[in-house]
Amino acid sequence: MSVALYTRISQDKTGERAGVERQAKECRELADRRGLTITHEYSDNDVSAYSGKRRDGFDALLRAVSTGEVDRVLVWHPDRLYRRSADLEKLINLVEQHNIKIVTVTAGDFDLNTATGRAVARTLVAWSGFEVEQKTDRQKSAYRQRAERGGWPFAHRPFGYQRVNGEIVQVPDEAAVLRDILSRYYEKLEPRHAIMRDLNQRGILTPRRKPWGIIQLRDVLTNDRYGGVVKHGDTVLDVKPSWEPIVDRDVWLGWRSRAAKRKRKSTFSSAKYLLTGIARCDVCGAVCFVKHRADGGRSYFCSDLGCVQRSVPAVDDLVERLVIGRLSMPDASQVFAPRNEDTADISREIEAKQARLDDMAALVADGTLSADAVRAEAKPLREQMERLRAVLAERQARATIPAELFQQHAGEAWDSLPLIRKRAVVSAIMRVSIGRQANPRIFDPEAVRIEWVSDAK
């Protein structure tokens, strides 16, 4: 007689497998009492049986049953094995082909070969589904109520925080790491992979005591709660958080706004050249990208009509010399350095207008207003939001300029910057337009028009 032991738990908040180990211990004790020999063991830790997500342990168990490797399945309770009718029916279909018995610690034995056994199993799975749905409804209501009070509901401990006596408090060492990596990602524009490698090399683990992966790091870097933003699902609530944020809310919103802008410009972080997607055609206004020529050279090329084409090394060299020269001037720190301008009023105004748009969309969805009626009011709102975002971006752009560029050796500081930061500085202080020239074979610096941001105001 071959017996397969199967354990499962929906949530393992600590990652220490304590739940499945407790189940396995009681199952082994039952096997000893009944003289059963456990020959196979399968487990799904931290996996819900109701969600429909793949369960590797369960799938392996079914394969073992289908090949005749086992003739008994030992579980702590039937709902550890199945909570959905679909999973039960899979098991019933296999049992009809193989004489399989299900032995449980808490609910006795099940014989799915008989009509009575199948009826009991189907009844239990129906009530189990009802229990899960009812629990889910209660949890959603509780989460909503908690969020409206400024709470932060989480099943797994987020990096940087823990619950102490019902309060969400910072974990000092992790909070310090958070401030560091958030600053490196949003202010210094350091790539995620570089941050991930650094964390793992330093032996800093996730809250579940595992090395960092790129998905886990992405979730941390984009978690609005670190900026004191209270949310219920995807809805932002205008309430004060009950926890101490890692960074100021306005700073966070500024970071996220700039990150979204970079994401919309898909070439920003992946560009290999200084002005890709930044320089514009001075004839038609289109963005310039890099074109590889037949002679092996590279040119900035008008992406729309091909109006202009200029050597990448020549244009880059000109722009870099102009940046270094301008930032070396005595007034550079006054003109381009961060001015600590308050952006909270603009952020709140943008949020208010977005809320108005969301309200109008809801009124259209429930039939209160027609789409035509809303369209006329929504257009000026969107235009106002675009203007506000432009002002906000202009105020925030200066934060991308490293302080060392305003010091005596600006050239050395510039040379030490990675390409992505050089691109951010260029975007913050100048507008570059590439025009036509009489003789395209000889580079003419006058055909590259520079408009300094300070002069454009």
| Domain-embedded: residue 142 | no
Q: Residue 289 and residue 309: Cα distance in Å, rounded?
A: 10
In this structure, are 261 and 221 located in the same domain?
no
Question: What confidence tens digit (pLDDT) does each residue in 270-287 have?
Answer: 578 999 888 999 998 888
Q: Residue 102 and residue 277: Cα distance in Å, rounded?
A: 63
Strands 167-170 and 161-164: antiparallel
Position 457 pLDDT exceeds 50 = no
Question: What confidence tens digit (pLDDT) does each residue in 351-378 have?
Answer: 778 777 777 776 666 666 666 767 777 7
The answer to whether the beta carbons of residues 119 and 111 sit under 8 Å apart is: no
Span 78-91, mean pLDDT?
Answer: 81
Higher pLDDT, 64 or 189: 64
**Which of residues 133, 148, 177 is at a domain's end?**
133
Span 392-398, mean pLDDT?
Answer: 60
Please report, for the domain that includes residue 108, its CATH number.
3.40.50.1390
Span 14-34, mean pLDDT?
Answer: 82
- Kindly tell me the burial class for residue 216, based on how many C-beta atoms sit within 10 Å of its own C-beta (0-12, 13-18, 19 or more): middle
The answer to whether the beta carbons of residues 38 and 3 sit under 8 Å apart is: yes
| Domain-embedded: residue 346 | no
- The pTM (predicted TM-score) of the whole model is 0.41
| Domain-embedded: residue 92 | yes
Task: Provide the pLDDT for residue 136.
Answer: 66
Quote the longest CA-to-CA distance of the chain: 96
Task: Provide the pLDDT for residue 12.
Answer: 54
Tokens for 152, please give them. 């932060």
In this structure, are 183 and 321 located in the same domain?
no
In this structure, are 48 and 180 located in the same domain?
no
Strands of 165-259 (E only): list them: 167-170, 230-232, 235-237
Q: Which of 268, 283, 278 is nearest to 300 (CA)?
A: 278
Q: Residue 335 and residue 454: Cα distance in Å, rounded?
A: 7
Tokens for 284, please give them. 């038609």
In this structure, are 321 and 419 located in the same domain?
yes
What share of the chain has pLDDT > 70, as a percent? 83
Q: How confident is the model at residue 341 (pLDDT cuts 50, 70, 90)?
A: low
| Domain-embedded: residue 146 | no
Q: How confident is the model at residue 456 (pLDDT cuts 50, 70, 90)?
A: very low
Question: Lowest-confidence range among 114-118, 149-153, 179-183, 394-398?
Answer: 394-398
- Give me the sheet containing 3-9, strands edge to edge: 38-45, 3-9, 72-75, 101-104, 109-110
In this structure, are 193 and 282 located in the same domain?
no
DSSP assignment string, 260-315: HHHHHSTTTTT-SSTTTTTSEETTT-PBEEEEE-TTS-EEEEETTT---EEEHHHH
Q: Residue 87 and residue 64: Cα distance in Å, rounded?
A: 15
Span 453-457, mean pLDDT?
Answer: 57
Q: Residue 334 and residue 330: Cα distance in Å, rounded?
A: 8
| Domain-embedded: residue 375 | no
Q: Residue 102 and residue 99: Cα distance in Å, rounded?
A: 10
Range(s) of the domain holding residue 213? 161-226
The answer to whether the beta carbons of residues 73 and 37 sit under 8 Å apart is: no
Q: Which residue has the tokens 């101490």?
A: 244
In this structure, are 177 and 263 located in the same domain?
no
**Alpha-helical segments (H) within 53-163:** 56-66, 78-81, 85-97, 115-148
Task: Provide the pLDDT for residue 267.
Answer: 44
**Which of residues 203, 226, 249 is at a domain's end?**
226
The angle that helices 214-221 and 192-201 make with each other, rounded to 10 degrees, is 110
Tokens for 190, please give them. 């350091």
In this structure, are 204 and 94 located in the same domain?
no
Higher pLDDT, 226 or 130: 226
| Domain-embedded: residue 245 | no
Domains of the chain: total: 3
CA dihedral 101, 102, 105, 109 (to 10 degrees): -60
Q: Which range has highest mean pLDDT (104-108, 166-170, 331-335)?
A: 166-170
**Which of residues 133, 151, 169 is at a domain's end?**
133
